Amino acid sequence: MLSLKRFNLTDLLAFIVISIGAVFMIAPLLWTLSTSFKSKAEVFALPPVWIPETFHFEKYIEIWEKGPLLSGIQNSLIITVCVTIIGTFTSSLAAFAFAKLRFPFKNMIFLLLLSALMIPYPAVMIPQFILFSEFGWVDTLKPLIVPGLFGNIMMIFFLRQYLTSVPGAIIEAAKIDGSSYFGIFSKIIFPLIRPAVAAQLILWFMAVWNDYLAPIIYLNSPEKQTLQLVIANFNATYAIQTDYALIMAASFIALLPMLIIFLVFQKQIIESVAISGVKG
Amino acid sequence: MKVRSNLYRKESYYGYLFVLAPVVGYLLFTMYPLLYSLYGSFTDWDGLGQMTFIGLDNFKDILADELFYKASFNTIFMMIGIPIEITLALLLAMGLNRKMFGTTTFRVIYYVPVISSLAAVSILWQWAYNGDYGLVNQFLALFGFEGPNWLTDKYTVKPALILMMIWKNIGYSMLLYLAALQSVPKDYYEAAQLDGANSWNIFWNITFPMVKPVTFFIVVTKIIGGAQIFTEVNIMTPTGGPEYSSATVVFYVWKKAFENLQMGYASGMAMLLGLFIFVITLVQFRMNERSSKDME
């Protein structure tokens, strides 16, 4: 009885500490949201105003006129959709080959690809930039799309691990039935690995959507920039005018797509992260 | 025999075909640029004109460059956040691993910053750190403290960045620990309790060793990530901070390459960074191998 009571007390204590932590985690985000609705006086009010007296929605209309926010969203969408859809196809096809097909030097090739995980982007970004500028691709979306189409090594690694639990007998049986290798992939393998693919695709989508370093290198003209660059420019431009409500509205719009995706696919994302970490 | 070898040849053919895309991508966008960068680091190169071979001159200059040391120091200094984050994440995960009310909600709340765009998060923290009306100082004022102007003071800019990065990333480490804790067999804890072990003993002899592979994974990925900090510095302190006190190596490489067009010099620094990451990863894998052998 005594030990039960003690454990409840620890639980309560843990709950309180975690709750306080949660307030700190969420406060900056709520502050962004609330500031975007504030009047100028409320932005600078001391002590801070958390709930504006009247909600000003003007800034959410202004941001579309004051900067290329819409084209930023479009550009980000074009890049992420192209990269993740085609890149996922090439990655899962390669994962299938690495996990289930027999060909000479297979493991050597796989290890070689894995070595790329150890090479940071900053180490290759300069020659990549020179290469793409020779193609005349600077200030287009191509340098941000094309490399991704060739697949994602982390995804190949993850899907290959996932496929090792699929019995080889299924594939042998399909072969005897006269199925082509691509048929085996599209009719048997892909449906089997679909949950893993979905989880990896979401993670990759978020990474490409939120990327900042590669876009800042390649994209100069405002109408070519991705959403992340557009809001960073908003920040730099309107800071002088201290129009925080405007900056916060733009930032919140930039946060929104991923927040929605996360809330919808929360379970898959969390599971996928957990699996890749524990197995990796 | 003939049929069999034909089948095998066909399988090999398709095998190569299916892995062709990532292999070509690897050669084109990783291997070739890496070798190019390596060569570039031995040249005087502005990215437009000729590459003139100058031997080790870039590296001599880099090793005498005060700003390079500053950027390296800043980068390593900011890794102080890693042990803090890992400790907090483990404590948090242990708390959330209990059967208690609202665990799913907490998991979501702590994970939201992880999925948020780093650019947007950097912007909101930049204003939260504002000396006059930023959220952080308004909070400190509640307790009677007068906070500094965090990002324009050379002593506070790095701690400010560290704090923000812990806030941004802690959910990720927490989630990995939570997954690891849930895979620890319950019998271990029950047996230990029967033996009369106290909480500290249980933590030190069961929990900690069981989550060691995850700790290893987090440490390696955090150091690799920490060595490449760029976005938050670029947005929150566009000039590299007061007296370059928040500039990181990647920030400096980026400046040199794309603003000063010193591609050869920047390549040299990028190679040193790559080498650092490679060595760290290798050392840690060696250590992990040895310690997992010890455990057996």
Which value, to the nearest 10 degrees, does the dihedral of the CA atoms of residues A208, A210, A212, A213 take? -50
Q: Give the residue, A95 or B287, on which the prediction is more confident.
A: A95
> Cβ separation of A103 and B16 shorter than 8 Å?
yes
Indicate the pLDDT class of residue B293, thresholds 50, 70 and 90: low
> Cβ separation of B92 and A18 shorter than 8 Å?
yes
Nearest CB neighbour to A15, from listed B33, B100, B281: B100
Indicate whether B1 pLDDT > 60.
no
d(CA A160, CA A128): 28
Task: Report B:68-97 residues touching A (Cβ under 8 A).
Answer: 92, 95-96
Q: Does B267 touch chain A (CB under 8 A)?
A: yes
Q: Does A173 touch chain B (CB under 8 A)?
A: no
Nearest CA distance, B72 vs chain A (angstrom)? 14
Residue in B13, B18, B32 to test binding to A, most A beta-carbons within 10 Å: B18
Q: Can you give the pLDDT at residue B9?
A: 86
**Residue B113 identity:** P
Q: Can you give the pLDDT at residue B102?
A: 82
Q: Does A235 touch chain B (CB under 8 A)?
A: yes
Q: B43 in helix, strand or coil?
A: strand
Indicate the pLDDT class of residue B292, thresholds 50, 70 and 90: low
Q: Can you give the pLDDT at residue A3?
A: 47
> Cβ separation of A125 and B32 shorter than 8 Å?
no
Give the Cβ contact number of residue A45 at 10 Å. Answer: 14
End-to-end CA distance of chain A: 42
pLDDT digits (tens, 9 = 90+) for B187-240: 888 888 888 888 888 899 999 999 988 898 899 889 999 999 999 999 999 999
The answer to whether B280 touches B223, Cβ cutoff 8 Å, is yes
The answer to whether B241 touches B247, Cβ cutoff 8 Å, is yes
> What are the Cα distances from residue A176, in Å, to A180, A199, B58, B254, B258?
10, 32, 61, 56, 57
Phi, psi (deg, nearest 5) at residue B52:
-100, 125
Q: Can you give the pLDDT at residue B294?
A: 60
Q: What is the mean pLDDT of residues B7-29?
A: 94
Q: Does B226 touch chain A (CB under 8 A)?
A: no
Q: Which two tokens stand for residue B76?
A: 């390593």
Nearest CA distance, B191 vs chain A (angstrom)? 16
Task: Determine the residue of chain B that is closest to A111 in CA distance.
Answer: B23
Q: Does A190 touch chain B (CB under 8 A)?
A: no
> Cβ separation of A255 and B117 shorter than 8 Å?
yes
Q: Does A259 touch chain B (CB under 8 A)?
A: yes
Give the Cβ contact number of residue A187 at 10 Å. Answer: 12
Q: Does A158 touch chain B (CB under 8 A)?
A: no
| Percent of residues, chain B, with pLDDT higher than 70 | 97
pLDDT digits (tens, 9 = 90+) for B61-119: 999 999 999 999 999 999 999 999 999 999 999 999 887 778 889 999 999 999 999 99
Task: Report B:127-186 residues touching A (Cβ under 8 A).
Answer: 127-128, 132-133, 135, 138, 141-142, 167, 171-172, 175-176, 178-180, 183
Residues composing chain A: 280
Q: Can you give the pLDDT at residue B133?
A: 81
The answer to whether A226 touches A219, Cβ cutoff 8 Å, is yes
> Cβ separation of B172 and A131 shorter than 8 Å?
no
CA angle A202, A74, A211 (to 5 degrees): 50
Q: Can you give the pLDDT at residue B132?
A: 83
Indicate whether B30 pLDDT > 60.
yes
Q: Which two tokens stand for residue A133?
A: 């500028």
Which chain B residues touch A119 with a CB distance below 8 Å?
A: 30, 34, 274, 278
> Cβ separation of B23 and A109 shorter than 8 Å?
yes
Q: Can you give the pLDDT at residue A280?
A: 44
- Sequential pLDDT tens for chain A (280 residues): 344 445 578 888 889 999 999 999 999 999 999 999 998 888 877 777 788 888 989 899 999 998 899 999 999 999 999 999 999 999 999 999 999 999 999 999 999 999 898 899 999 999 999 999 999 999 999 999 999 999 999 999 999 988 988 888 888 888 888 889 999 999 999 999 998 898 889 889 999 999 999 999 999 999 999 999 999 999 998 887 878 899 999 999 999 999 999 989 888 888 777 776 655 4
Q: Does A136 touch chain B (CB under 8 A)?
A: no
d(CA A253, CA A244): 14
